[in-house]
């Protein structure tokens, strides 16, 4: 159903998945099972979302074999450091009811804490132990990526960062491409702030697709992996229906002009919340 992207450790990741941030714990299993039955094969979670139990339950409820579902979770800021991260990962696996995740990420670098290097070493250990098949990061910027690679020789497979038409991050994406790191876009719809813009509306008129579909297609065509969230079945269905059209070069160039460097979420250089 969805295209796969190669990872720098020899594995592959579905380019399109769905995210579980702010999905209520009580309905996460149902949302997850619905999404998987619609055709999604990647589910993006995190310890801080408070719904890992539902994430795991939804995977089981979908009836899909475990190896057909790509499962991501993330280590929260308060759990950074070597030993704490090992314990946090075990706690996540227990809540998920899984023996391993396909991708484990450091959720935020927290540069002032300065523990992300030790945290990364714990992720390397977890990969060696088979508790995480692949390891990566989220919200990292170039200096922190350079430090991880330089100090450990292990390049993250992926960096999950905020990307949407108003925050396109071209320099970071170029750095990722140079180092074989997949860019994965969070808040890909950008809170709908670009839906009514002329470039998006022009593509909507030509393709007959929705603004969300045009924007998600833009993510795919810049080469990013993308994890939109919807709690509605119709929304999940709409966000999966991206593979029967393409944006033209002119449409891609027009959407590129919407970049204003405007974030929806926190600035990773400053975000240290526990
Ligand atoms: N690593 C990080 O620090 C980080 C930070 C934020 C998010 N994330 C991950 O990225 C995922 C996606 O980001 P996000 O949840 O912030 O935002 P998003 O996917 O860009 O947008 C979700 C919002 O858009 C609405 N929506 C979904 N599909 C739509 C459609 N087709 N048309 C119109 N509206 C639509 C949803 O409402 P309905 O539910 O009503 O459809 C919801 O309000 C998260 O779930 C999480 O897994 C990671």
As a three-state string, the secondary structure of the chain is CCCEEECCCCCEEECECEECCCCCHHHHHHHHHHHHHHCCCEEECCHHHCCHHHHHHHHHHHCCCHHHCEEEEEECHHHCCHHHHHHHHHHHHHHHCCCCEEEEEECCCCCCCCCHHHHHHHHHHHHHCCCEEEEEEECCCHHHHHHHHHHHCCCCCEEEEECECCECCHHHHHHHHHHCCEEEEECCCHHHCCCCCHHHHHHHHHHCCCHHHHHHHHHHHCCCEECCCCCCHHHHHHHHCCCCCCCCHHHHHHHHCCCCCCCCCCCCCCCCCC
Judge whether residue 1 has pLDDT over 80: no
Distance 230 CA to ligand 1 centre (A): 6
Q: How far apart are CA 83 and CA 85, in angstroms?
A: 5
Give domain limits for the chain. Answer: 4-256
Distance 33 CA to ligand 1 centre (A): 17
Judge whether residue 58 has pLDDT over 90: yes
Q: How far apart are CA 131 and CA 106, in angstroms?
A: 15
Q: Which CATH number applies to 4-256? A: 3.20.20.100
Mean pLDDT of the 224-230 span: 98
Is the distance from the beta carbon of residue 211 to the nearest atom of ligand 1 less than 6 Å? Answer: no
Prediction pTM value: 0.99
pLDDT by residue (tens digit) across 168-206? 999 999 999 999 999 999 999 999 999 999 999 999 999
Band of the pLDDT at 2, cuts 50, 70, 90? Answer: confident
Q: How far apart are CA 79 and CA 258, in angstroms?
A: 37
Q: How far apart are CA 94 and CA 244, in angstroms?
A: 39
Cα within 13 Å of Cα(212), Cβ side? 17
pLDDT by residue (tens digit) across 63-121? 999 999 999 999 999 999 999 999 999 999 999 999 999 999 999 999 999 999 999 99
Is the distance from the beta carbon of residue 212 to the nearest atom of ligand 1 less than 6 Å? Answer: yes
Mutation choice for ligand 1 from 16, 18, 19, CB with most ligand atoms inside 8 A: 19
Does 49 participate in catalysis according to the annotation? yes
For ligand 1, atom 37, the nearest C-alpha belongs to: 230
Atom of ligand 1 nearest to the CA of 228: 19
Mutation choice for ligand 1 from 47, 50, 187, CB with most ligand atoms inside 8 A: 187
pLDDT by residue (tens digit) across 22-42? 999 999 999 999 999 999 999
Residue-averaged pLDDT of the chain: 98
């Amino acid at each position: 159903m969805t295209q796969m992207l190669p990872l720098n450790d020899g594995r592959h990741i579905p380019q399109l998945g769905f995210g579980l941030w702010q999905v209520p714990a009580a309905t996460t299993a149902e949302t997850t099972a619905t999404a998987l039955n619609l055709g999604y094969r990647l589910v993006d979670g995190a310890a801080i979302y408070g719904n890992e139990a539902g994430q795991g339950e939804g995977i089981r409820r979908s009836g899909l074999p475990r190896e057909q579902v790509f499962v991501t979770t993330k280590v929260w800021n308060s759990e950074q450091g070597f030993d704490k991260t090992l314990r946090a990962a075990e706690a996540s696996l227990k809540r998920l009811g899984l023996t391993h995740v396909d991708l484990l990420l450091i959720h935020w670098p927290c540069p002032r804490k300065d523990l992300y290097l030790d945290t990364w070493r714990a992720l390397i250990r977890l990969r060696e132990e088979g508790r995480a098949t692949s390891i990566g990061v989220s919200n990292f910027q170039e200096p922190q990526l350079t430090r991880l690679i330089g100090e450990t020789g292990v390049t993250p497979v992926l960096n999950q960062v905020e990307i949407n038409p108003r925050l396109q991050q071209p320099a970071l994406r170029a750095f990722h491409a140079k180092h074989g790191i997949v860019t994965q876009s969070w808040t890909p719809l950008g809170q709908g702030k670009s839906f009514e813009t002329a470039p998006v509306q022009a593509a909507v008129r030509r393709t007959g697709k929705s603004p969300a579909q045009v924007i998600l297609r833009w993510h795919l065509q810049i080469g990013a992996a993308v994890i939109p969230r919807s709690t509605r079945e119709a929304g999940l269905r709409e966000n999966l229906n991206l593979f029967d059209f393409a944006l033209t070069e002119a449409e891609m160039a027009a959407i590129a002009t919407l970049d204003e460097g405007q974030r929806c979420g926190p600035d990773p250089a400053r975000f240290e919340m526990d």
